[in-house]
Amino acid sequence: MRKQFICGNWKMFKDLVETAELINGLKTEVSSLNPKVTVAVCPPFTSLAIAANLLKDSTIRIGAQNMSPHDEGACTGEISWRMLKSVGCEYVILGHSERRQFFGETNELINEKAKKALANGLKPIVCVGETLDQREKGVTTQIITTQIKGVLDGIGSSDLGNVTIAYEPVWAIGTGKNATPLQAQEVHQGIRKLIGQLYNWSVAESIVIQYGGSVKPENAKDLLAQDDIDGALVGGACLKPDSFLAIISAAKS
């Protein structure tokens, strides 16, 4: 049985004071929820250290929202895996659609980052998803297949156990729209089938595939009840303790 994984992507929100308020509002409550659900938060870089310090005795894990493929050097504005590890990160989100759309990140770059993360003890949450235009043209499967093959190229089955795939339809991120549970399940099932073809069915059965895209307390239970949806990568709803805790509570055990 795959463990449900709920991760909050804070995006570019929360200063240090707000970070402490949100973390303190989460950590005591999470401990009383379903222990079979893995919970992580991904604050902005400036808040990672304070968040990790506040969560040192908590079950909530820490992740970052991005990472450079380089170890160090003259890369102004970039953050390396070593920096993330030094503040206590366990996870790193890679290839979020906003990075692809606004910052030109390609499957090849995301693949390079994923390999670097895995080689250095970080667990990548690798995002894939189609635009509204692509869905309306009926090419969702082709787009997702190309993305999965690209971002996992050269990553062996032994490493895939530390990879989470997050399916985030671009048209449902921050729009208030979301895929229906059946639409999301269809894509998740297709991703699992593709992983089985690229690796083997044992690997496919064990890999965690999250859904992201306007996940809210109101729709979380129906989405998370689907057979191949193993959790959620949560955006706006993770910025308030009550709504994030409600989504965690909706995860199936």
**Tens-place pLDDT, residues 202-220:** 999 999 999 998 899 999 9
130 classed as catalytic: no
| Chain centre distance of CA 110 | 13
Mean pLDDT of 15-29: 96
Q: How far from each other are the two terminal CA atoms of the chain, in whole angstroms?
A: 9
Structural domain containing residue 187? 4-250
Split at pLDDT 50, 70, 90, the class of 253 is low
Domain count, the chain: 1
Categorize the per-residue pLDDT at 252 as very low, low, confident or very high, splitting at 50, 70 and 90. confident
Which residues lie closer than 8 Å to 209 by C-beta, 6 or more apart?
Answer: 164, 165, 166, 167, 188, 191, 192, 228, 229, 230
Does the annotation count 98 as an active-site position?
Answer: no
Above 90 in pLDDT, residue 39?
yes
Helix, strand, or coil (residue 185): helix
- Catalytic pick from 96, 98, 105, 130? 96
Of the residues 108, 168, 186, 218, only one is catalytic, namely: 168
What is the residue-averaged pLDDT of the chain? 95
CATH for 172: 3.20.20.70
Q: Which of 202, 153, 170 is nearest to 102 (CA)?
A: 170
pTM: predicted TM-score of the whole model, two decimal places: 0.96
